């Protein structure tokens, strides 16, 4: 491990958690993100659902969201298994990367260390997906707790459960997004097997993709609508 390796790894971690904090607390306050817009849509969804007597559509949407999270959790487990298998064949992995042009010379211990780091990134994503899956389950329970018919006696109860369900849905989505962010960054992490400079480059490119999707994408423009009045 060289000094440049340590700098590159520190930069990777800073971009990973720094962007999460940046997005979570809306430091770019004059331009709301795609996640901000979708949070409002999620709240509006549950308010609308509380006025429906038949909620098969709503329960189907929650189930679909949950199944999507389950797919990525399963895929992450398979990726972790592949990394563990690579640890058992670190000498072969080292020989493969040594044949790639511009790859820095590395011994088996360095490759094993980098593989352990990749397992950590994927493991973080798996736990985020697992908790998101559970939260979507709670979301379905709160949806079912909303009274079927609103009247003067249970309107306040329906509003309360609609608010809780919307907030639970937002929490589940945030954990799912965090897991997806780890998956995307794990792709950038692969640049470290070539060299620290490549890790910095690939991390920067993925960070650029994150910023563009959240603040400058067509999806954001569609989701925004008239939710915010931008200056």
In a domain, 48, yes or no: yes
Q: Is 102's pLDDT higher than 60?
A: no
Looking at the domain assignment, is residue 68 inside a domain?
yes
Q: Has residue 229 got a pLDDT over 60?
A: no
Answer whether residue 139 is part of any domain: yes
Total tally of structural domains belonging to the chain: 1
Average pLDDT over residues 105-125: 87
| Residue 88 domain-assigned (yes or no) | yes
Whether residue 94 lies inside any domain: the answer is: yes
pTM: 0.88
Confidence of residue 90 (pLDDT cuts 50, 70, 90): confident
Query: CB atoms < 10 A from the CB of 114, how many?
Result: 23
Please check whether residue 230 is in contact with residue 28, taking contact to mean a CB–CB distance below 8 angstroms: no
CA 96 to chain centre: 31
CB burial of 27-60 (b: ≥16 within 10 Å; e: otherwise) equals eeeeebbbbbbbbbebbebbeebbeeeebeebee
**Enclosing domain of residue 83:** 36-179
**Mean pLDDT rounded to a whole number for the chain:** 88
The answer to whether position 191 is within a domain reads no
Residues whose CB is less than 8 angstroms from the CB of residue 112 and which lie 6 or more positions away in sequence, other chains included? 87, 90
pLDDT tens for 18-60 read 888 887 776 665 788 899 899 999 999 999 999 888 888 999 9
Q: Does residue 190 form part of some domain?
A: no
């Amino acid at each position: 491990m060289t000094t440049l390796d340590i700098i590159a790894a520190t930069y990777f971690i800073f971009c990973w958690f720094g962007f999460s904090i940046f997005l979570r607390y809306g430091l770019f306050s004059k331009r709301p993100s795609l996640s901000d817009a979708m949070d409002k849509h999620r709240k509006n969804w549950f308010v609308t659902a509380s006025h429906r007597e038949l909620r098969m559509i709503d329960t189907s949407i929650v189930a679909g969201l949950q199944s999507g999270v389950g797919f990525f959790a399963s895929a992450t487990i398979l990726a972790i298994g592949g990394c563990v298998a690579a640890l058992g064949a670190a000498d072969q992995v080292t020989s493969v990367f040594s044949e790639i042009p511009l790859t820095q010379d590395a011994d088996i211990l360095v490759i094993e260390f980098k593989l352990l780091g990749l397992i950590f990134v994927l493991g973080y994503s798996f736990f985020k997906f697992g908790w998101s899956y559970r939260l979507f389950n709670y979301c379905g329970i709160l949806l079912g707790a909303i009274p079927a018919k609103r009247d003067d006696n249970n309107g306040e109860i329906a509003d309360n459960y609609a608010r809780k369900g919307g907030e639970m849905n937002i929490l589940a989505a945030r954990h799912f997004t965090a897991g997806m962010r780890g998956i995307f960054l794990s792709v950038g992490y692969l640049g470290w097997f070539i060299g620290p400079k490549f890790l910095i480059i690939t991390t920067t490119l993925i960070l650029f993709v994150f910023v563009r999707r959240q603040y400058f994408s067509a999806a954001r423009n569609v989701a925004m609508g008239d939710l915010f009045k931008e200056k």
